Amino acid sequence: MDVGAVGGLRNVKDAISVARKVMENTRHSLLGGELAADFARQMGFTKESLQTEKSKKMFDDWVQNRCQPNFWEANVEPNPAESCGPYRQAQQQQVETNIDRAERQLPQSGEDQHDTIGVVALDTRGRLVSGVSTNGQNHKIAGRIGDSAVTGAGAYADGDVGAAAATGDGDIIMRFLPRYSILFGGGTDASGRLAASRHGDGGEAHGSQVSALPRRGHCSEQARRVRCVLPWL
C-alpha cells in the first residue's frame, strides 16, 4: 500500500497533489507545516495567498464577535469566552471563574463549518484508491491538523477489501481510525461483501459521514447505513 499526506500546509492551493508527491517521490507518509510548504515548492508548486474576500470577512466578523466560537478550553486566560487572547495557562481560581461565567458559544461541526472533499475510486486496472482534501474547521487554533492527513482516519484503501473516505469532526474521528475500522472491523463476509459491523452506524457516533467502495461491488446488510458506492467498471 502506498500513502502520502500533508498537514498544516499554507499558501499552496493543490494540497492533495502535494500529498501525491509525498507518496510518489519520497519514502515518507506525512509531511507537515512550513517545511511541507518548502517541499511543495521544490516539487514545482506555486506559493500564493488563498485568502478571498469572503474568508477575510468571515475572519473580521469573528474577531468583532470576540473570537466566538473557538476551540480553547476554560483553563486558559484571558477567558476564551470573552477574549481573542493570546492565551496562557490559567490559575485554578481563574479557571473556576471562567466556567462560572456566561455560557460559551461552542464550535459546531455542521455542513457549513468545513469544506472536506473525499473520493474513493476503482480504475480500469482494478486499483482501489481513496483521497481526502480539506481546509479544516472554521476558527481552528493555528497549527491544528485534523483527520484528513491521518491514514485510516480521513481515508483508507486496501486492494483486497475496499476503500472509504469521510468527513465530520476530525478531532473525534482521528481518535478511532473509523475509515480503517469500517473496512477491517467487520471485514468481508463469505460473499466478499463489505461488513461494517463495528461502525455500522456509518461513523455517526464519531461525528462523521462515510462513503465506502467495497472491493467486489457488494454491500452487506450490516453496512446499509454506510454510503456504499458500487463501481460501474
169 has binding-site annotation: yes
**For residue 158, which of 190, 200, 192, 114 has the smallest C-alpha distance?**
192
110 has binding-site annotation: no
145 has binding-site annotation: yes
Active-site residue (options: 26, 46, 52, 116) = 116
Q: Is 134 a known active-site residue?
A: no
167 has binding-site annotation: yes
136 has binding-site annotation: no
Query: Are the CB atoms for 147 and 178 separated by under 8 Å?
Result: no
Nearest-angstrom CA–CA distance, 154 and 30? 13
Query: Are the CB atoms for 171 and 164 separated by under 8 Å?
Result: no
52 has binding-site annotation: no
User: Which residue type sits at 132?
Assistant: V
Please identify which residue in the block is written with the cell numbers 468545513: 114
Q: What angle do CA 144, 150, 152 make, to 5 degrees?
A: 145
User: Which residue type sits at 34?
Assistant: E
Residues in binding site for substrate: 144-147, 167-170
Residues in binding site: 144-147, 167-170
List, by residue number, the catalytic residues. Answer: 116
